[in-house]
Copies of this chain bind each other. A is one copy, B any other.
Amino acid sequence: MKILILPGDGIGPEIIAQATRVLDVLRSDGLKVETETAPLGGAAYDQYGAPYPQVTQDLARAADAVLLGAVGGPQYDTLDRPLRPERGLLAIRKDLNLFANLRPAILYPELANASTLKPEVVSGLDILIVRELTGDIYFGQPRGVHVNEAGEREGFNTMRYSESEIRRIAHVAFKAAQKRQKKLCSVDKANVLETTEFWKEIVTDVAKEYPDVALSHMYVDNAAMQLVRNPKQFDVMVTGNIFGDILSDEASMLTGSIGMLPSASLDQNNKGMYEPSHGSAPDIAGKNLANPLATILSLAMLLRYSGNNEAAAVRVENAVKAVLAQGYRTGDIFEAGTNKVSCSEMGDAVVAAL
C-alpha cells in the first residue's frame, strides 16, 4: 500500500510526526507500506505558489491512501481566494473524487467530563455522520459576485445534487448503518429547498435495497436541535456537504474532545484521505502541545478502509484506548488527576502501548 502523507499547516506537521511513528512501528512488525510526503495548503503555497501543486496531485493520484494533518493559518487569509489553503483541501477532495466523508462523534468514557453536556445526555455517545463531500453548494456553478438586473452588487452560489451523487452517498450510509445499529437519519430541508426534497426522494428509493435499516428523515434545523436535546437518538446520519459541515462540527463538539476525532473521505473504491476533525490550531502550532490522537485514529481508519486491515486498525485503536486508561492527556483533554503530556510524549505513550 502506498500512503501519501500531507503534514499541512499549523499543528499539522507535529501531529503527523506522531502518526508516522505509529506507522513505523507497524511497519517494523511487517506491515507493507510505502510512504511519500508532499505539501498541501499554506505549506504548498509557500513552496510552490499553489495550495494543491502538481507534485502533490501526482503523488495523491498514485497513492492508495492519503494521511493529512490540517491546513490553514492566519498568514494566508489575505491571499487571493484560489491560493488559500482551504482551496487546496477542496481541490484534493474533488480531484480524488472523495465523495463520502465519514465523521464519527464518539465519547470516550475516560473523557466524559470534557463535554459541556450533562453526562447522562452524552455517555456512550456514538454517532457516525456521513457527509457528501464533492457536491452541493461547495462546488455548484454558477457562483460569484456580479451586478444584478437591479444594478446592484450581489453574491450568488448554486446548491446542486444529481441523482447519481445522492444514490452513491446513500449507499455508503446504508452500508455503514448495516454494520452498526441499523438506524439511518437523512437530514434535509425538504420543506424549503427543492434540491433536498429531491435528496429525500432518492434516499427513500435507495432504502428499498436495505430493508434491514430503519430510515428516518429530519429537517436540518430540527437536527441541529435534536443533537443538543438527545444526541443518543442517532446512529448514522447522512446529509449533503454544507449541512454536513455544520452538523458534523456540532456533533463533534458534543463530545468535548474534538482532539480525539478522526475522519475519512472515501472514493467509490475505498481509496481515501484521512484527517483529524479538528483544524490547524495556529495558536499552539510549533509548541509541542497539540493532541496527536485524532491523527493517530485517522491512521487507524486508513488501515481499516483503504488498507482493508482490520487487525492493524484495531491494534492502533486499542493503543489509544490504553494511553487514555493510563491517564495520559494533552492540554485539550486534561483534567485534574490525570497526567498532562506534550504532543510527542503522547506519541511516546502510544508507541509504548503498541
Contact = CB atoms under 8 A, between A and B. Distances in A.
A150 B160 CA distance: 13
Interface string A156-200: 111111111000000000000000000000000101111111110
A63 interface: no
The oligomer's copy count stands at 2
Contact of A194 (B145, B148, B195, B245): B145
Interface string A75-103: 00000010010100010000000000000
Q: Which of A144, A154, A229, A256 has the most CB of B within 10 A?
A: A154
B121 A148 contact: no
A319 B143 CA distance: 50
A281 interface: no
A82 to B, nearest CB: 12
Contacts of A192: 86, 90, 137-138
A162 B145 CA distance: 9
A111 interface: no
Interface residues of A, number: 62
A192 B157 CA distance: 10
A242 B199 contact: no
Contact of A199 (B155, B248, B256): B155
A163 B156 contact: no
A140 B162 contact: no
A26 interface: no
Contact of A253 (B158, B225, B247): B225
A249 interface: yes
Contacts of A90: 192
B163 A152 contact: yes
Given A138-B192, A162-B150, A163-B154, A198 B145 contact: yes
Nearest to A228: B253
Contact of A157 (B194, B225, B226): B194
Interface stretch (A2-10, A31-39, A216-224, A284-292): A216-224
Contact of A224 (B153, B156, B224): B224
Contacts of A163: 152-154
A62 interface: no
Nearest to A192: B138
Contact of A153 (B162, B220, B256): B162
Given A86-B191, A116-B228, A224-B224, A152 B157 contact: no
Nearest to A140: B156
Contact of A196 (B155, B158, B228, B229): B155
A168 to B, nearest CB: 12
Given A153-B163, A228-B254, A229-B253, A220 B196 contact: no
A146 to B, nearest CB: 10
A206 interface: no
A36 B138 CA distance: 46
Contacts of A152: 162-164
9 contacts: A116-B117, A116-B228, A117-B118, A145-B197, A153-B162, A154-B161, A155-B193, A155-B197, A221-B245
Interface of A: 81, 84, 86, 90, 116-118, 121, 137-138, 140, 143-145, 148, 150, 152-164, 189, 191-199, 220-222, 224-230, 242-243, 245-250, 252-254, 256, 258
